[in-house]
Amino acid sequence: MGLKFTKMHGLGNDFMVIDAINQSLDLQTQRVRAWADRHFGIGFDQLLVVEATSTPNVDFRYRIFNADGSEVQQCGNGARCFAKFVYDKGLTDKTEITVETASGIIVLYVEENGWIRVNMGAPNFHPQSLPFTMPAEREHYALDVLGEEFEIGAVSMGNPHAVLRVADIGRAPVDKIGAAIESHRAFPERVNVGFAERLNANHIKLRVYERGAAETLACGTGACAAMVVYRNWGEVADEVTVSLPGGDLKIAWNGERDAPVWMSGPAVTVFEGELPEE
């Protein structure tokens, strides 16, 4: 038997999903990179692995790997696809699914309209949580990038995010500045970079340069990060539509530091496949 997998996407942010509960999986960095190749492999932004858990009152363990083979803590679009996968595959009949990730426990809800609502946990603005080398927490940070100064907000949504305010999302230098900030010395473990244009108090447009994956069509944690940074700045309401190149997400956060961020959006199965034995 070969290795069975499912190809999925959340707003064009695409994933290879593997059930590692009912089949064995030998994960190696070079193998993940080969699968991720869009010409010679399956092609994806990230690999999602479904595992059993020994943690009490938790349904599954969930691991995430970037296309370059590096393991990361959290992925919002991936979390929605994860919930749809385990529900559609009959791995659970629950519509409230508790999942262990590298950044902690998250809860996923399968809604009647087919969307998945995710409790993403509370945002963490402390620089050391990203990590970010700034000595103290601030609402705004000045960052020197390629000889130019940029004002950013920074937050961890289980993974690190820097958020830049831009006046025109279409002209934002996502590739050049995104790559420079992702690997900036101030972020020793690299960072995801969001370019956010505020349209009004209930609507943000966003492009994200993802750590280890470059620009993607959508980033769930990036959408959460953009919303909570703008909310922390006092510039948006408690519920915001975040429009990404791949589509819209609904993000809600009331501004309280210990309150969870809620993300709602679609998850789509593209096809099923099976890799030949090696």
Q: Which residues touch 48 (CB under 8 Å, ≥6 apart)?
A: 8, 15, 16, 17, 18, 62, 63, 64, 75, 78, 81, 82, 85
Q: Measured between alpha carbons, how far is 187 from 92 in angstroms, rounded to an integer?
A: 38
What is the model's pLDDT at position 25? 93
User: In terms of domains, do 20 and 91 share one?
Assistant: yes
The fraction of the chain above a pLDDT of 70, given in percent, is 100
3-state helix, strand, coil in the chain (%, to 5): 20, 40, 40
User: In terms of domains, do 24 and 96 share one?
Assistant: yes
Which parts of the chain fold into alpha helices (H)? Answer: 29-36, 76-88, 174-182, 220-232
Active-site option among 32, 75, 186, 206: 75
Q: Is the pLDDT of residue 168 over 90?
A: yes
For residue 21, the domain's CATH number is 3.10.310.10
User: In terms of domains, do 79 and 100 share one?
Assistant: yes
User: In terms of domains, do 17 and 140 share one?
Assistant: no
Query: pLDDT, tens digit, for every residue of 116-150?
Result: 999 888 999 999 999 999 999 999 999 999 999 99
Q: What global pTM score does this model have?
A: 0.83
Confidence of residue 41 (pLDDT cuts 50, 70, 90): very high
Number of neighbours of residue 89 by Cβ within 10 angstroms: 15
The CA-based angle 131-134-138, given to 5 degrees, is 105
**Cα-Cα-Cα-Cα dihedral of 6, 11, 13, 14, to 10°?**
20
What is the model's pLDDT at position 257? 94
Q: Is the pLDDT of residue 268 over 90?
A: yes
Q: Using an 8 Å Cβ cutoff, are 253 and 259 in contact?
A: yes
Mean residue pLDDT across the chain = 95
What is the model's pLDDT at position 1? 75
Q: Which residues touch 134 (CB under 8 Å, ≥6 apart)?
A: 127, 141, 154, 186
Tell me which residue of 14, 11, 124 sits closest to 66, measured CA to CA.
14
User: In terms of domains, do 136 and 225 share one?
Assistant: yes
- Most distant CA pair in the chain: distance in Å? 55
Q: Measured between alpha carbons, how far is 65 from 211 in angstroms, rounded to an integer?
A: 11
For the question of residue 219 being annotated catalytic, the response is yes
Residue type present at position 108: L
User: In terms of domains, do 270 and 207 share one?
Assistant: no
- Quote the distance between the C-alpha of residue 188 and its chain's center: 19
What is the model's pLDDT at position 74? 78
- Residue 26's domain comprises 3-121+266-275
User: In terms of domains, do 7 and 106 share one?
Assistant: yes
User: In terms of domains, do 184 and 212 share one?
Assistant: yes
Query: pLDDT, tens digit, for every residue of 54-108?
Result: 999 999 999 999 999 999 887 788 999 999 999 999 999 999 999 999 888 889 9
What is the model's pLDDT at position 57? 95
**pLDDT (average), residues 34-48:** 96
**Number of domains, the chain:** 2
For the question of residue 81 being annotated catalytic, the response is no
Active-site option among 152, 177, 181, 219: 219
User: In terms of domains, do 208 and 246 share one?
Assistant: yes
User: In terms of domains, do 252 and 144 share one?
Assistant: yes
Q: Using an 8 Å Cβ cutoff, are 165 and 195 in contact?
A: no
Q: Is the pLDDT of residue 278 over 80?
A: no
User: In terms of domains, do 200 and 254 share one?
Assistant: yes
For strand 13-19 and strand 203-210, is the pairing parallel, antiparallel, or unpaired?
unpaired
User: In terms of domains, do 181 and 59 share one?
Assistant: no
What is the model's pLDDT at position 103? 81
